[in-house]
Amino acid sequence: MIKSLIIISFLSFSLVPDVNSAEGGPCKDYGDCDQFKPDLNNMASLQRGVGTFMKYCYSCHSLKYSRWGRVANDLQIPEDIFFEYLVPDQNAGPFDLMVAPIHELEIDNAPPDLTLVARKRTSSWVYTYLRAFYDDSSTTYGSNNLVYPGVNMPNILAPIQGNQKLGCKEVPVLAKNGGEKRDEFGNTITKEKCGYLKHQDGSGLLNVEEFDEFIYDLTNFLTYVGEPSRAERERMGVYAIIFFIIFTFLSALLYREYQKDYH
């Protein structure tokens, strides 16, 4: 009886939906999204992320469901430093919402608010999207995106990322059973397939690995903004599960003692 109750408790824990495990789905022409695992306890990453957002994104995109003071407090940034170096509006206060200047003008077709973008699209989608821009002279802004084809947004991070273009490469030809086709000599049969991102080394301020880390921090911050209490919720969830396991064990012992009175 005790063993059964403990197993049920563990099964209950394992059946709780894991948002991260569901991420990495289709990203349009890019294919499956690259996996992204947020680290909401990494204050250095979150602090770098908010710095990147304020420098490159905030002029167009709001975080209108967040407040300046809450972000500063959660990210362990002293308010005087936060407001001096990161908040462009000198009249903004800790309880004011993070509304971008362009949204205050109430312009039609203004860029979307990004407070919940990581929850709506998933963090993996955001992480992949920000790294999937490529040069495209046929578009208005001279760039396009594999994850969001035809996106009406310039690649604001192009000087940092560098030049990225679509290219082709040889890929194995697959048989009906999913295996690779081979010729009579056992060599894999390939065909040319286009639509792959190719980065020009040395064309940006950061190399590929450094840019990936740069985007990781930004996506990590956007993940935090979508649910500021997530790290605390997950931490408390572990203690709650431990409590229920112990409670179940003690209840089973008490149940066994009561059963003795009937036999």
Q: What is the pTM of this model?
A: 0.80
Percent of the chain scoring above 90 in pLDDT: 62
Distance, in Å, from the CA atom of 76 to the CA atom of 137, rounded to the nearest integer, reads 43
The one-letter amino acid at 60 = C
Q: Can you give the pLDDT at residue 120? A: 95
Band (263; pLDDT cuts 50, 70, 90): low
More reliable by pLDDT, 232 or 124: 124
Question: What is the CATH T-level fold of the domain 2-163+200-260, as seen in this structure?
Answer: Cytochrome Bc1 Complex; Chain D, domain 2 (1.10.760)
Q: What is the 3-state secondary structure (H, E, C) of 144-171?
A: EECCCCCCCCCCCCHHHHCCEEEEEEEE
What are the sequence ranges of the domains in the chain? Answer: 2-163+200-260
Q: pLDDT by residue (tens digit) across 21-54?
A: 444 458 998 989 999 999 999 999 999 999 999 9
Q: What is the mean pLDDT of the chain?
A: 88
pLDDT at 19 over 60: no
Q: pLDDT by residue (tens digit) across 182-195?
A: 988 889 988 888 88
First to last CA, the chain: 16
Q: pLDDT by residue (tens digit) across 162-173?
A: 999 998 888 888
Q: Can you give the pLDDT at residue 25? A: 58
Please state the rounded mean pLDDT for residues 191-201.
Answer: 89
182-192: burial string, b at 16+ Cβ within 10 Å, e else:
eeeeeeeeeee
Distance, in Å, from the CA atom of 132 to the CA atom of 76, rounded to the nearest integer, reads 31
Percent of the chain scoring above 70 in pLDDT: 89
Distance, in Å, from the CA atom of 175 to the CA atom of 89, rounded to the nearest integer, reads 60
Residues contacting residue 188 through CB under 8 Å, at least 6 positions apart:
172, 173, 180, 181, 182
Q: Can you give the pLDDT at residue 6? A: 45
Q: pLDDT by residue (tens digit) across 54-95?
A: 999 999 999 999 999 999 999 999 999 999 999 999 899 999
Q: Kindly give the residue spans of alpha helices, DSSP state H, lying in 162-229.
A: 208-226
Please state the rounded mean pLDDT for residues 102-112.
Answer: 79
Q: pLDDT by residue (tens digit) across 143-167?
A: 999 999 999 999 999 999 999 999 8
114-151: burial string, b at 16+ Cβ within 10 Å, e else:
bbebbeebbbbbbbbbbbbbbebeeeeeebbbbbbeeb
